[in-house]
């Protein structure tokens, strides 16, 4: 029998808690805080759980890591889509008659050079360039609609607004250096 500072003894504690003296003695006389609350296995494990939590990531850190993983997957998917879109555009350009091919190849090079963030893709079977899945600009072959000229145009997602009226489409029969510079300037403005 061990005397406690509060006057209780190790023999009195089990009876007060409704446990057997053998179960109480199993804990040992020095393994309890006071006679009404013996130290249990769960109490001993709580220190281990606390220290284990310290070595893991917080909920906020886990959430941030999941978000970054999603971003990396999206970037990989976008790069794959961009590469696939480019090959589709180049294949469509290759199908065009020679006169349209020359124009389409130059337009493609100008757009890639001046708006590298745009994703090449086909749109109604024509070369087009998108941002966030929305077409910004496109090329239409003269042969496609049996027209006398090819067209380079911009959709409403292009930032070309200028006053109350502005052009959104240009007829092309050939491209000079000055025409290419004008198109480059328009493409840059469209994505600004």
Of 84 and 40, the one with more pLDDT: 84
Are 134 and 155 in contact by the 8 Å Cβ rule? The answer is yes
pLDDT of residue 24: 46
Same domain membership, residue 81 and residue 30: no
Same domain membership, residue 25 and residue 103: no
> How many domains does one find in the chain?
2
Say yes or no to pLDDT of 153 above 80: yes
The residue segments making up the domain with residue 21 are 14-54
pTM of this structure: 0.61
3-class secondary structure for 110-139?
Answer: HHHHHCCCCEEEEECCEEEEEECCEEEEEE
Which range is most confident: 19-28, 39-48, 66-75?
A: 66-75
Of 14 and 79, the one with more pLDDT: 79
- Give a yes or no: residue 3 inside a domain: no
> CATH number, domain at 149?
3.90.1150.200
Same domain membership, residue 158 and residue 173: yes
Same domain membership, residue 129 and residue 94: yes
- Give the three-class secondary structure for 159: coil
Q: Give the model's confidence band at 164: pLDDT under 50 very low, under 70 low, under 90 confident, else very high.
A: very high
Same domain membership, residue 66 and residue 46: no
- Give a yes or no: residue 6 inside a domain: no
Are 120 and 108 in contact by the 8 Å Cβ rule? The answer is yes
Same domain membership, residue 74 and residue 47: no
Q: Give the model's confidence band at 32: pLDDT under 50 very low, under 70 low, under 90 confident, else very high.
A: very low
Mean pLDDT of 156-171: 92
- Give a yes or no: residue 7 inside a domain: no
Same domain membership, residue 153 and residue 179: yes
Are 110 and 184 in contact by the 8 Å Cβ rule? The answer is yes
Q: What is the mean pLDDT of the chain?
A: 79
Same domain membership, residue 72 and residue 41: no
Q: Give the model's confidence band at 54: pLDDT under 50 very low, under 70 low, under 90 confident, else very high.
A: low
Same domain membership, residue 67 and residue 39: no
Distance CA 93, CA 175 (A): 16
Mean pLDDT of 142-151: 92
Q: Give the model's confidence band at 180: pLDDT under 50 very low, under 70 low, under 90 confident, else very high.
A: very high
- Give a yes or no: residue 76 inside a domain: yes
Same domain membership, residue 152 and residue 86: yes
Same domain membership, residue 103 and residue 143: yes
């Amino acid at each position: 029998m061990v005397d406690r500072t509060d006057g209780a003894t190790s023999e009195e504690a089990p009876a007060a808690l409704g446990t057997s003296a053998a179960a109480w003695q199993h804990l040992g006389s020095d393994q309890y805080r006071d006679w009404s609350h013996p130290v249990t296995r769960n109490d001993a494990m709580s220190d281990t759980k606390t220290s284990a939590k310290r070595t893991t990531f917080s909920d906020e850190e886990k959430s941030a890591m999941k978000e970054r993983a999603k971003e990396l997957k999206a970037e990989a998917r976008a790069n794959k889509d961009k590469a696939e879109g480019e090959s589709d555009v180049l294949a469509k350009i290759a199908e065009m008659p020679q006169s349209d091919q020359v124009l389409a190849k130059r337009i493609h090079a100008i757009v890639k050079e001046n708006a590298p963030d745009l994703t090449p893709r086909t749109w109604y079977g024509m070369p087009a360039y998108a941002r966030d899945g929305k077409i910004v600009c496109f090329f239409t072959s003269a042969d496609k609609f049996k027209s006398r000229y090819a067209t380079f145009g911009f959709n409403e997602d292009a930032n070309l607004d200028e006053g109350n009226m502005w052009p959104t489409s240009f007829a092309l029969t050939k491209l000079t250096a000055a025409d290419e510079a004008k198109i480059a300037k328009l493409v840059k403005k469209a994505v600004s």
